[in-house]
C-alpha cells in the first residue's frame, strides 16, 4: 500500500466499470432500438443487444461498492471526525453536481424542467449516511449493510400512490418513478436510497480486507466471498422464492432460458442483482494484482479508475454532443433532441438511431478520446496533492 493509500487493483476494477459505463450511455444516445423497447425484454431483444445492456449492470454496484471501500481506506489516514467531515462535504458536493452539471449533461436543457436522481445522487446520499455510520462499531455497520441489501426486497410490495411528498419520498427510498410535479417540472427518482446505501456500507466494511493485516490471506478470502455470492445467487434464483421481483422461467430455447435466469432487476437493485454483479467483481479483485499493469488496456483502465468523476462528467458531455451532431447529420431538428426516452416516452425520437456496430464504434472512440485527458489529470492530481479541491474530482 502506498502513501496515498490507493490500491492499484481497486483503481483497475473501477476503471473497467467506467469503460463499460460509457458503452451503456452510448447505447442510450445512439442505438435505434433504445427509443423503442427495453433491451432486456426477451420478447423483443436480440442476444447481442441483451448482453450489451446486461454487461453494464456491473457498473453502478461496483462503483458504489468501491466508493465505500475507498472511504474506508481514506479513513486509515484520518480520524473518524475528519473522515466524517470529508464524507459530508463530498456527499453534498455530489448531490449538487448531480442536480446541476450532470443533469445538464444528460439533457442540455437550460430550464432544468426534468431533474433525474441517479447514480451520482445516490453516491452523495450514501456518503452522508456513511458519515454518520462510521461512528458506529464496525460490526454494526456491517449488519446494517447486510440488512439493507438482503432485506429491502421485503418492501417490494409496498407502494405509495399519488404525486405528493409521501409518494416521492417513498420512491426515493425504494422505488423507480417519474413525478410530474408541475406542468413544467418533472422529478425522476431512479436510484433508490435504501439498497444502494446498503451496498456502500458493505463496501466500506470490505475495505478492511485491504489493510496490511489481511495481505497474506486476502486472495483466498476474496475468492471465497466472490464465489459464495455467485453460489448464493444460484441457490436463491432457482426456486424463484426471494431476492428479485421478476422471476425467471423456461423459454423456447436454451439461450433464452439462460437470459431469463440472469435477467435480474436493477431498479431498485434486487438482492440477486447485487449478488451476481459484486460476486464476479470481488473474484476479479482477488486476481487483479497478478495482471500485467503495463499492458495498454490495463494501463488505460487503471488511469481512468484514478479519476472517475473527471471521466464521468466528460464522457456524458462528449457522448451527448456526438449524439447531437449525429442527429443534425441525419436531419433531425435540435429542438427534438431531448433524450428522455428512458424516463418518459419521446415520440419525436422514433426513427432516430443506429445499429450496434455504430454504437460500439462510438464507444471505443469516446473512451480512447478521453484517455489522454484523464491521463493528464491523473498526473496533475498526483503532482499537486496540496490542492484540496482536487479530491472532489
For the stretch 212-231, pLDDT in tens is 999 999 999 999 999 999 99
* Beta-strand relationship, 114-117 and 177-182: unpaired
Place of cell 434486487: 270
Confidence bin at 55 (pLDDT 50/70/90): very high
Half-sphere exposure of 6 (CA within 13 A, CB side): 15
What pLDDT is attached to residue 34? 75
What pLDDT is attached to residue 1? 35
CA angle in degrees (0–180, nearest 5) for 345-189-157: 100
- Judge whether 198 and 126 are in contact, CB under 8 Å: no
* Beta-strand relationship, 177-182 and 185-189: antiparallel
Place of cell 420512491: 171
- Judge whether 362 and 329 are in contact, CB under 8 Å: no
Q: What is the pLDDT of residues 60-79, one digit of tens each?
A: 999 999 999 999 999 999 99
What is this structure's pTM?
0.94
Tell me: cis bond preceding 268? Omega within 30 of 0 counts.
yes
As a whole number, mean pLDDT of residues 226-254 equals: 97
**How far is Cα of residue 87 from the mean position of the Cα atoms in its chain?**
19
Q: What is the pLDDT of residues 142-172, one digit of tens each?
A: 999 999 999 999 999 999 999 999 999 999 9
- Judge whether 104 and 112 are in contact, CB under 8 Å: yes
Average pLDDT over the chain, rounded to an integer:
92
Sign of CA dihedral 77, 81, 83, 89: negative
Strand order in the sheet with 177-182: 114-117, 185-189, 177-182
* C-alpha to C-alpha distance for 385 and 380, rounded to whole angstroms: 9
Place of cell 462499531: 137
Buried b (16+ CB within 10 A) or exposed e, 23-40: bbbbbbbbbbbbbeeebb
Residue 6 has pLDDT above 80, yes or no: no
- Judge whether 363 and 23 are in contact, CB under 8 Å: yes
- Judge whether 315 and 22 are in contact, CB under 8 Å: yes
- Judge whether 366 and 26 are in contact, CB under 8 Å: yes
Burial of residue 89 (number of CB atoms within 10 Å: 0-12, 13-18, 19+)? middle
What pLDDT is attached to residue 85? 96
Higher pLDDT, 84 or 343: 84
Amino acid at each position: 500500500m502506498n502513501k496515498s493509500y490507493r490500491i492499484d487493483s481497486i483503481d483497475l476494477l473501477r476503471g473497467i466499470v467506467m469503460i463499460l459505463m460509457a458503452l451503456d450511455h452510448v447505447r442510450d444516445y445512439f442505438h435505434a432500438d433504445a427509443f423503442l423497447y427495453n433491451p432486456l425484454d426477451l420478447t423483443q431483444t436480440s442476444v447481442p443487444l441483451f448482453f450489451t445492456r446486461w454487461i453494464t449492470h456491473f457498473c453502478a454496484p461496483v462503483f458504489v461498492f468501491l466508493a465505500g471501500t475507498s472511504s474506508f481506506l481514506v479513513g486509515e489516514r484520518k480520524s473518524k471526525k475528519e473522515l466524517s467531515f470529508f464524507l459530508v462535504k463530498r456527499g453534498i458536493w455530489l448531490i449538487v453536481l448531480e442536480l446541476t452539471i450532470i443533469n445538464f449533461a444528460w439533457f442540455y436543457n437550460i430550464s432544468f424542467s426534468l431533474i433525474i436522481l441517479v447514480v451520482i445522487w445516490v453516491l452523495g446520499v450514501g456518503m452522508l449516511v456513511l458519515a454518520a455510520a462510521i461512528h458506529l462499531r464496525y460490526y454494526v455497520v456491517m449488519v446494517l449493510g447486510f440488512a439493507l441489501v438482503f432485506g429491502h426486497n421485503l418492501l417490494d410490495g409496498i407502494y405509495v400512490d399519488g404525486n405528493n411528498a409521501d409518494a416521492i419520498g417513498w420512491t426515493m427510498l425504494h422505488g423507480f418513478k417519474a413525478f410530474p410535479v408541475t406542468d413544467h417540472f418533472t422529478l425522476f427518482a431512479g436510484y433508490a436510497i435504501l439498497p444502494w446505501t446498503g451496498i456502500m456500507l458493505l463496501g466500506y466494511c470490505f475495505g478492511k480486507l485491504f489493510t496490511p493485516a489481511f495481505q497474506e490471506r486476502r486472495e483466498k478470502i476474496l475468492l471465497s466471498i466472490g464465489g459464495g455470492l455467485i453460489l448464493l445467487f444460484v441457490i436463491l434464483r432457482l426456486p424463484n422464492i426471494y431476492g428479485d421481483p421478476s422471476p425467471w422461467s423456461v423459454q423456447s430455447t436454451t439461450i433464452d432460458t439462460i437470459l431469463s435466469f440472469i435477467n435480474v432487476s436493477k431498479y431498485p437493485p434486487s438482492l440477486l442483482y447485487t449478488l451476481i454483479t459484486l460476486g464476479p467483481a470481488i473474484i476479479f479483485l482477488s486476481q487483479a494484482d497478478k495482471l500485467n499493469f503495463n499492458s495498454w488496456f490495463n494501463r488505460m483502465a487503471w488511469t481512468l479508475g484514478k479519476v472517475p468523476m473527471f471521466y464521468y462528467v466528460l464522457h456524458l458531455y462528449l457522448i451527448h454532443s456526438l449524439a447531437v451532431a449525429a442527429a443534425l447529420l441525419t436531419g433531425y431538428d435540435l429542438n427534438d433532441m431531448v433524450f428522455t426516452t428512458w424516463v418518459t416516452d419521446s415520440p419525436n425520437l422514433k426513427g432516430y438511431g443506429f445499429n450496434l456496430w455504430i454504437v460500439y464504434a462510438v464507444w471505443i472512440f469516446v473512451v480512447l478520446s478521453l484517455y489522454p485527458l484523464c491521463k493528464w489529470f491523473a498526473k496533475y492530481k498526483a503532482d499537486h496533492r496540496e490542492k484540496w479541491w482536487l479530491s472532489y474530482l
